Amino acid sequence: MQVLPLTATEHVPMDFNYLYHRQQVSVFMSENAASDEARASHLGLARGYSAEIAAALRARRPSVAA
């Protein structure tokens, strides 16, 4: 079965600069939102980008044997 690139389930790591940029844009948009709904949506996106950044940072750390 052939899978289209946009529907593939393989996780492609994002560039940190992109993630930090999108997180900051989302924070800015939430601070300047015209409605509570828009504010909540942008804050949700910012939190999602923050989670992606944290996950990427965890993945880059060398594992420590217990």
Q: What is the pLDDT of residue 2?
A: 61
Q: What is the pLDDT of residue 6?
A: 60
Please give the model's pTM, rounded to 2 decimal places. 0.71
- DSSP codes of every residue in 1-48: ----GGG--PPPPPPHHHHHHHHHHHHHHHHT-SSHHHHHHHHHHHHH
How many Å apart are CA 58 and CA 53, to the nearest integer?
9
Q: What is the pLDDT of residue 43?
A: 98
pLDDT in tens, the chain (66 residues): 565 666 556 565 668 999 999 999 999 999 999 999 999 999 999 999 999 999 988 888 876 655
45: region left, alpha or beta (phi > 0 left; psi from -120 to 50 alpha): alpha
Question: Which sequence spans correspond to the domains of the chain?
Answer: 14-58
Q: What is the pLDDT of residue 38?
A: 97
Q: How many CB atoms lie within 10 A of CB 23?
A: 19
